[in-house]
Structure formats: C-alpha cells, structure tokens
Amino acid sequence: MRYKFLTGAFAATVALNFAGPAAATDLEVTHWWTSGGEAAAVAELAKAFDATGNHWVDGAIAGSGGTARPIMISRITGGDPMGATQFNHGRQAEELVQAGLMRDLTDIATKDKWTEIVRPKSLLDSCTIGGKIYCVPVNIHSWQWLWLSNEAFQKAGVPMPKDWNEFVAAAPALEKAGIIPLAVGGQPWQASGAFDVLLAAVGGTDAFLKVYKDKDAKFAAGPEIAKVFKAADDARKMAKNTNVQDWNQATNLVITGKAGGQIMGDWAQGEFQVAGKTAGKDYACLPGLGLNEVIATGGDAFYFPLLKDEAKSKAQEVLAETLLDPKTQVAFNLKKGSLPVRGDVDLNSANDCMKKGLAILAKGAVIPWTDQLLSQDSQKQKEDLFSEFFAKPDMTLEEAQKRFANIIASAD
Amino acid sequence: MSNSERPNQLFRNLNAKIASVPMILTALVVFVGGTAWTVLYSFTNSKLLPRLNFVGLDQYHRLWSTSRWLISIENLLIYGAISLVFSLVIGFLLAALLDQKIRFEDTFRTIFLYPFALSFIVTGLVWQWLLNPDFGVQRVVRDLGWTSFSFDPLYNSSIVIYGISIAALWQGTGLIMCLMLAGLRGIDEDIWKAARVDGIPAWKTYLFIIIPMMRPVFITTLVIIAAGIVKVYDLVVAQTSGGPGIASEVPAKYVYDYMFFAQNLGQGFAASTMMLLSVVIVIVPWAYLEFGGKKRG
C-alpha cells in the first residue's frame, strides 16, 4: 500500500493531465515521441483516433524511453494507469503482463485476424506471453542504418562510402576537413546500440544470434567478437569529438554536414525529413552498414493497462483497431520514417531509404532486436559498459571484451 | 493550560503529544519500516516488481564486482573530501572576514548566500554552460587572446568530478558561511578582549580559542555537509548525467538507474543498503563518542 501510495504520488506530479468525464471517451496515451519528426507522426495517430469519435489525450513524456518508461511503469504499478502506453515490444513490459496489470487483447486479435496481417510474424510473437496477445505493434524500427551526409564528404573531397570499411578509410580525410567522422551522442543507449549494429554487420547474423539469443559467453569472448570490438574501436576513435548528448542533436550534426555519418535507427530519417532533406541527394543511408543487409524487427507497440471503467475499455478496443488500420499505418509510418507492420499497405510515397528497408523486409532478412532478446537489466549493464568504452580512449579492447562476455554469461 | 489537579504523567502536555503522533508514525512507518523493507528485499532477486525470492548475498556480490559501482564510490569519496574540506575552510574564512566589522556586511552576506537559493538542478545547468568549452569559461579566455587555454573539466573523464565539486561548493559555501558567522557572533566579546590583552595574535585566537568554542556549530555544519554528500544526485544529473561515459557516476544515481531503468529492484536495493551502511559506519562511532561520553561525565 505504501509503495502504491508513493509511486502514485510520484506519478501524479509528473502527469497532471487527468482525463475528465466528457461525452466522447477520453483516453490518455503516454509515449516518448517528442522530437520533431516523432511528434508529427504521433499527431497522425491522434487524428485517426479522434476521427472515431473518441478523444486522444496526449501524454508525451520528454527525454527518451529511458526517462519515460520508469514514469509509465510507476503509474501502472501505482494504481493510476493511463488508457494506453507505448513500449518497445519485447521484454520491457513482460513483468507487468505477468503481474496481471495489462489487458489481454487476444479476442480483438482473433476477430481482426492479426496473425494474418502482421508481418513479420516475430512482431506479434514478442507481444505474445503465455499464448495470449498483449500489445499492438505499430511499426518496425531497425537500428541497422548508417546515415551519411553528402555535404560532409564533398567538403572533404572523398567519394561517398558504400560500406562501413570504406567509411572508416575515409575518416582521416574527413577529420582533416574539420568534420567529425562519426557522430555518437552521449546518451548511453546510443553507444550500446551502435555496438549491436556493428555486431550484426561486422560479425554477421549468426554471431549476433549466438551472442544475444543463445547467450554463448564463450563465443562472446572469442576471436570473432574480437573483430567486432576492433570495429568498435574504430568507431570510438571516429566519434571522439562529438560533444552532444541527445541522438537528434547528433543527427543534426549529420544534417548540417558537421559530421560525416551516424549509426542510428531509422527514426533518424524523420529528422532528415523535418529538415527538408532528400534521401539520395542530401543524405545517404546504408542498411546493415552496407556489409550485412538485414534489419532488426524492434519497434514500438502499444500496451493497454487493465481498466475498470467500461467506456474506457471500449475506447481501448477502438484504439487497438485504429492503430492497425491500413490508412493509419501509412500516415504514421511515413512521418515516423519507420516501416509499417502490415505488408498489404500501399507505400508508393515512401522515399529511397524506406524502400530499401521494405525490400529487405520482403526478402525476409530480419533478425530480432536486443529489446526482444535481453532483459532490461542486461541491456543496462551493456549500456554502462559501452558508454564507458566510448568515453574512455584508454580502455583496452581485451578488457572491454572480457566484461562484455561476463555480461552475456549472466544475461537473462 | 494549568489544571487544578496534577494530571497523570502520560497525559502531560497531551496536546503536544497528540500533535507529534503523525510525525512519530511517519518516522516509524516511512523511515524505519521503509528501511527494513528495502534491506529485506535487497536479498531477493526482485526485478520490476518486488518478490520475496531470496538469493542470499548475490546482489551484493554483483554490486561489488561492477565497475560502475566502484567508480561511483570513488567519486563519492573524492567529492566528499573536497566538499567537506573546502566548504568548511572557505565558509569559515568568509565568515571570519565578514566578522571584521566591515562595511556593507549585509550586501556581502546576501551575495554569498544567494547561490543557496538555487536548486542543484539549476546550479548544475548553470555550471554545465559555464564549463562548456564551446561557450563557457574556455571560450571567453580564448577570445581574450590566450588561444591555447584549455578548461573543460566536464568533458574530461579524469577530472570531471572536480568540475562537479566546483558547482557544489559555489552553491553550498554560502550556507556554511552563515552558520559559521552565527557561531562567531555567539562568542563573547570579552574573550577577544582577554586574548588581545594577553597579546595573542588574531589567527592564534581563532585557531586555539574560538574554533574549539564553536564546536556545536561545527558539528551541526558537519552533519549538514555530510548529508549533502551522500545524497548527491541531481547535481550530477543536471551537469553531466554521469558522463563522459560513466566517469561521474555517484551511488545515488546507480540506485535510481538500476531500480527504474534496468528494472532490477534487488540490485538497486542492495546499492541503497550499502549507502545506508556507509552512513551508519560514520554515524555510530561518532554518536557513541558524542552522547555516550556525556552520560558518563
């Protein structure tokens, strides 16, 4: 009770927009989409939901998922649940579901045949716990992208690289021209994510799965992963002059040509779009760093806390259906820069980069992402390790790899 | 409030007792109860939600083999030593200088105390900007002509904790100065006169007569500073969020991050229990000497 009260009080100070009674049902939806491109995308969802006669009460929490998730979880465990909330699908909400705090959506899923329309299948699998479906995936976000600035490479007088190795080779020329070769912001998840991308690209899909899915610590300490650490060392050297924190500030360095490139998920594309840049002309994107063209099927999903209010529960159903509606899917994902979760929608208006992603998706070259494979605890340890690694030039590769293998050994 | 009959001991000052019931309950339930609960659950493998599934000392083993925790402890020690020594020394010096019956004393006092009105978050933000190499102190000095001047403590792993300490001193010294000033004003004028008659130099008077007389003030100050050291969190979050890398992490931040970001309550509880333990180790011998001694004497 005391715990409930404290967390409740904490949550109440954070989110002051309680939905009052109104004719149309107000449903508060919390999410952490606050950058320019993201806000534009979420407005599309709100518009579609409002069109059903209900009212979307926006509960945006600034400061990226790391800040937002504790607030959301406190509200749910503290007995003040919102109508719906974003999580990355995977294991972030696992315990909330196991504790019976989340709503089972299996009925709606069977009625609307989600198993047939959602693709790839792994998306719905990560929403499924104990045979029941608990979330609605809304997009596929893949981390495996290298964003490059045409302007920066022109200034340095080197041709645009076609893969990671060429990019590393071009780094000295970029540095000479006063350009930061690789932008990596100071937030811990950025360093950690960049490493995971390198692991899948340099090490290959099998290595990635062996480490994160099978949690093979011996393999993680072995020579194949040592190669990945070598690449991470290159990245560390190339990124050493980045003095920004947030990912979108780092993306902005690429947009303005102050940095040569950035390893970042496809959400970065929204920023390029908001800045009015054209794919292929102003910037280029290399899925899988140009080495191993796979994309990970991480992404965002909406979870629905169990509510007592019947009208609100009804509105939850409507929202769940709206989110998967083909029209909403297209409008939302075009703005967000992510890929839709259903294969039967028309995406002719997609730009170059999204088309590349769709083609890879159609080929079925997909891998699960770390959010789906590792617990938040292991993820956090990994973040600590890589943010230290990227900030500390004198940390040896052997030491880093040893600690990485230890994390994998104890991972769950 | 005087009754004609002498009441039962239990009902003496009944109003005061009733009034203090909420605080007693709060202290027992929130502080003592919460502490016991935390310590108990630190021996479990609770993840996102608390569960009574005991794993012995596993969480503590993991804690003490985590490099981030070790760095946090080291940072806390450096930060603690700096803020203890410097805020006492600077605070006392400022107070002693103000005590020389100078003009505009009120003005100076206000100026020195003003930073204390700011929260650590604001302080952290201000100093983050001041210490930013692109538009802070470094930039200003470079613009003045010293182009090789370099001062970017917040971006250098090995000295970042000193950059944070500077901000903490700037914010906290004013309060220490005020406490010290109050202590100095409490010293009888006659002591000074007697010392002067005996021909004792001023610095010696301060060191050997005044400071020992100000013992209670020093103890109060010490407690205030020490509490501030152990709980430091917001300043780090605002200034560096633990960066670069994990070079400026502190224990309180470890607790928060592991409880909420990593969804590992057991680990967070183990860390907070260690923080409690460190406070207890400092407080208990001191309390024993301070209070135990008095009763005997």
Read off the CATH number of the domain in which A386 is found.
Answer: 3.40.190.10
Q: Give a yes or no: residue A62 inside a domain.
A: yes
Same domain, A224 and A276: yes
**Same domain as A228, residue A132:** no
More confident position, A407 or A364: A407
pLDDT band per the 50, 70, 90 thresholds, residue A145? very high
Q: Closest CB to A391: pick one of B49, B244, B258.
A: B244
Q: Which of A129, A249, A376, A384 to mutate to test the interface with B (most CBs of B within 10 A)?
A: A384
- Please state the pTM of the whole predicted model: 0.82
Contact A49, A319 (CB under 8 A): yes
Spatial CB neighbours of B20, under 8 Å, sequence gap ≥ 6: none
Phi-psi region of B245 (alpha: psi -120 to 50; beta: other; left: phi over 0): left
Quickly list H helices, A15-163.
36-50, 64-77, 94-98, 106-111, 114-117, 121-125, 150-156
pLDDT at A1 over 50: no
As a whole number of angstroms, the distance between CA B62 and CA A9 comes to: 32
| A26, A55 contact by CB (below 8 A) | yes
Record: contact B262-A380, CB cut-off 8 A: yes
A89 and A204 inside one domain: no
Using a pLDDT cut of 70, give the percent of chain A over it. 94
Q: Which domain holds residue A43?
A: 2-140+299-342
Phi-psi region at A130: left, alpha or beta (left = phi > 0; alpha = psi -120 to 50): left
pLDDT of residue A18: 42
Q: Is residue A274 scored above 50 in pLDDT?
A: yes
- Residue in chain A closest to B132 (alpha carbons) equals A243
Alpha helix (H) residue ranges in A199-309 = 205-212, 217-220, 223-238, 247-255, 268-274
Same domain for A393 and A246: yes
* A360 part of a folded domain: no
> Measured between CA atoms, how close is A349 to chain B, in angstroms?
38
Among B50, B133, B246, the residue with its CB nearest the CB of A388 is B246
Same domain membership, residue A257 and residue A121: no
Q: In chain A, what residues touch B134 (CB-CB under 8 Å)?
A: 243
Does residue A215 fall inside a structural domain? yes
Residue A353 resides in a domain: no
**pLDDT of A92 over the 80 cut:** yes
* A247 and A392 assigned to the same domain: yes
Q: Are residues A241 and A325 in the same domain?
A: no
Find chain A residues with C-beta within 8 A of B49's C-beta. Answer: 77, 95, 99
Report how far residue B156's alpha carbon sits from residue B170's, in angstroms, rounded to the nearest whole number.
Answer: 20
Predicted confidence at residue A57, as pLDDT, reads 92
Chain B closest-CA separation from residue A361 CA (Å): 31
Query: Across the interface, do A2 and B50 touch by the CB < 8 Å criterion?
Result: no
ipTM of the complex: 0.78
Residue of chain A minimizing CA distance to B265: A377
Residue A359 lies in a domain: no
Q: Which residues of B touch A389 (CB under 8 A)?
A: 245
Same domain, residue pair A322 and A210: no
What A340-345 contacts at long range (C-beta under 8 Å, 24+ apart), as own/partner pairs, is: A340/A139, A340/A140, A341/A118, A341/A119, A341/A123, A341/A137, A341/A138, A341/A139, A341/A140, A341/A299, A342/A117, A342/A118, A342/A119, A343/A117, A343/A119, A344/A117
Q: Looking at residue A339, what is its pLDDT?
A: 87
Number of independent structural domains in chain A: 2
| Bridge partners, A148 (sequence order) | A261, A284
Cβ distance B245 to A389 less than 8 Å, yes or no, reads yes
Mean pLDDT taken over chain A = 87
> How many interface pairs between A and B have CB atoms less than 8 angstroms apart?
80
**Chain B residue nearest residue A192, CA to CA:** B245
Contacts of B196 (CB under 8 A, 6+ apart): none
CA distance A136 to A105: 8
* Cβ contact, residue pair B33, A2, below 8 Å: yes
Q: Name the β-bridge partners of A298.
A: A141
Q: What is the pLDDT, as a whole number, of residue A203?
A: 92
Is A387 within 8 Å of B261 when comparing Cβ atoms?
no
Specify whether A182 is located in the same domain as A286.
Answer: yes
Which of the four pLDDT bands, split at 50, 70 and 90, describes residue A86?
very high
Bond preceding residue A120 cis, omega within 30 of 0: yes
Asked if A93 and A197 sit in the same domain, the reply is no
Question: How many Å apart are CA A393 and CA B245, to the nearest integer?
Answer: 11
Q: Name the residue of chain A whose CA is nearest to B134's CA.
A: A243
Q: Which residues of chain B are at the A interface, by a Cβ-Cβ cutoff of 8 Å? A: 29-30, 33-34, 47-50, 62, 66-68, 133-134, 155, 157, 241, 243-247, 257-258, 260-264, 267
Residue A209 in domain: yes
Asked whether residue A174 falls in the same domain as residue A245, the answer is yes
Mean pLDDT across A278-307: 90
What number is the average pLDDT over the span A133-138?
92
CA B260 to chain A, closest CA, distance in angstroms equals 5
The Cα A224–Cα A209 span in angstroms is 13
Q: Same domain, yes or no, for A263 and A116?
A: no
Residues of chain B with pLDDT under 70: 1-7, 292-297
Cβ <8 Å between A392 and B33: no
Q: What residues of A are in contact with residue B32 (Cβ under 8 Å)?
A: none
Whether residue A213 lies inside any domain: the answer is yes
If interface means Cβ-Cβ distance under 8 Å, which residues of chain A face chain B? 2-3, 66, 69-70, 73-74, 77, 92, 94-96, 99, 186-187, 243, 245, 375-377, 379-381, 384, 387-392, 403, 410
Answer whether B264 sits within 8 Å of A380, measured CB to CB: yes
Sheet-wide strand order for A283-287? A180-182, A259-263, A145-149, A283-287
Q: Is residue A56 part of a domain?
A: yes
- pLDDT at position B7, please? 58
